[in-house]
Amino acid sequence: MKVPEISIIVVSYNTQEMTLACIASVYEQTREAEFELIVYDNDSKDGSAESIKEQFPGVKLIAAKDNIGFAMGNNEAIKQASGDYILLLNPDTVVLDAAIDQLLGFAKAHDSAEIWGGRTLFGDKTLNVNSCFRKMSVWNQFCRASGLAAIFRGSGFFNSEEYGGWKRDTIRQVDIVCGCFFLIKRNMWNTLQGFDKRFFMYAEEADLCLRAHKLGAKPMITPNATIIHYGGGSEKIRSDKMVRLLSAKSELLSIHWPNWKIPFGKIMLKSWVGARVVALAILSIFSPEKYQANLQNWKDIWARSDEWINGYTGRKAK
């Protein structure tokens, strides 16, 4: 058996059908690269591990006895990897048009980038812009909290965090590549010592990219490597998902922003949630059947602000 050039890592949690579809697409669409596929299952209760073992015996399956989260799951799985390249692939993705082969070829042609990503689509094949982001700044967080980013979503000036107006149809250097389809050289991963264990889920790739940038990495996106990313496959309750996401963003601020900026960043996070509550409350007056459920979710997120405003570290310190 040849030594794999690329190790593909999938961390799953209660996403049985999606995970099986993801694995099948990897085998169907990856024809050139020598690869190994490692699945780290975070103690799923839906039969994921058993189904993977039965349907894909060639997969290196790690069936954990506890849910240690996305970041640490990847860290543990990569300890078993042997490829020179590491590809992180979400279980709620489907590989299209030889995307992994395309991404690996792109990486070899742009070796100095150190981190690479592709283009993501929703299930209906419309563009999912969440393949990459610009790092958080005072300006883009103000635009987000004030609603300017939402009002002018197609503007690269007002919606700079999402690279507004860019259809992900050109090669471009970016700040952050999304962890759903994230290629990195093994030696860079080892130098960075993987994901920071402070992150349970969300923003771990942002932290890693920002640390890599300090070492000279210049992450890049190519439109020629395209996957479907459904998003949110392992978290069904929106308020729980947003609490995790806001905790992660707050943690990221605390690590990467200078101390004098951090209070402003946290005010902007809370203002963004508050603005959503107010906007949905107004819309619910005119169309309660359409907006009431979403309003209740955001009220719950606001009420739980003590859980997320100080990040993961703050929550654990209580």
pLDDT band (50, 70, 90) for residue 312: confident
Dihedral angle of Cα 291, 295, 297, 301, to the nearest 10 degrees: 150
Q: Are 212 and 175 in contact (CB under 8 A)?
A: no
Q: What is the Cα 305 distance to its own chain's centre?
A: 22
Q: What is the pLDDT of residue 316?
A: 45
Q: How far apart are alpha carbons 136 and 255 in whole angstroms? A: 12
Closest alpha carbon to 102 in 116, 115, 89: 116
Closest alpha carbon to 161 in 152, 170, 120, 169: 152
Q: What is the pLDDT of residue 237?
A: 61
pLDDT band (50, 70, 90) for residue 314: low
- Tell the CATH topology of 6-131+168-229: Spore Coat Polysaccharide Biosynthesis Protein SpsA; Chain A (3.90.550)
Query: Strands, E, within 64-188: which ranges?
Result: 85-89, 93-95, 115-121, 127-128, 132-133, 172-173, 176-177, 181-185
pLDDT tens string 15-66 = 999 999 999 999 999 999 999 999 999 999 999 999 999 999 999 999 999 9
Q: How far apart are alpha carbons 49 and 20 in whole angstroms? A: 10
Q: What is the pLDDT of residue 220?
A: 98
Q: What is the pLDDT of residue 318?
A: 34
pLDDT tens string 236-279 = 568 888 999 999 999 999 999 999 999 999 999 999 999 999 99
Q: What is the pLDDT of residue 68?
A: 92
State the average pLDDT over residues 56-79: 95
Residue spans of alpha helices (H) in the chain: 16-29, 48-55, 69-78, 99-109, 138-146, 148-151, 186-192, 204-213, 238-256, 262-286, 288-303, 305-308, 311-317
Q: Where are the domains of the chain?
A: 6-131+168-229, 238-317
Q: Angle, nearest 10°, between helix axes 262-286 and 138-146?
A: 20
